[in-house]
Copies of this chain bind each other. A is one copy, B any other.
Amino acid sequence: MKARVFVTLKNGVLDPQGKAIGHALNGLGFGEVGEVRQGKVIDLELAETSAEAARSRIKEMCEKLLANTVIEKYEIDLRN
């Protein structure tokens, strides 16, 4: 089973990297771009076959390693 995990900064947490991208895009002539936020995407391949079990294991991975839950939130997207 494959899974995609998104790790992004929580709303309200300053995102200087996103701001820099936004400024650069505006400067390049993309004036229609408003707020930009940048995060990480992690693609995992799992031996697990049950979606429910996989989700709970990935949640554990996020809490333990993938996300800093003080400032980051995560979303899990399962594909098989």
Query: A24, B65: Cβ atoms under 8 Å?
Result: yes
A66 interface neighbour in B21, B31, B60, Cβ under 8 Å = B21
Select from chain B the residue with minimum beta-carbon distance to A21: B42
Query: A40, B39: Cβ atoms under 8 Å?
Result: yes
Asked if A13 lies at the interface with its beta carbon under 8 angstroms from chain B, I say: no
A45 interface neighbour in B34, B61, B66, Cβ under 8 Å = B34
Nearest Cβ on chain B to A16's Cβ, whole angstroms: 14
Asked if A55 lies at the interface with its beta carbon under 8 angstroms from chain B, I say: no
Instruction: Tell me which residues across on chain B come within 8 A of A41, comparing CB atoms.
Output: 6, 8, 38-41
Distance between Cα atoms of A44 and B65 in the complex (Å)? 26
Given A25-B65, A32-B46, 8 extra CB contacts under 8 A: A18-B43, A21-B42, A34-B45, A36-B45, A38-B40, A38-B41, A38-B43, A40-B40
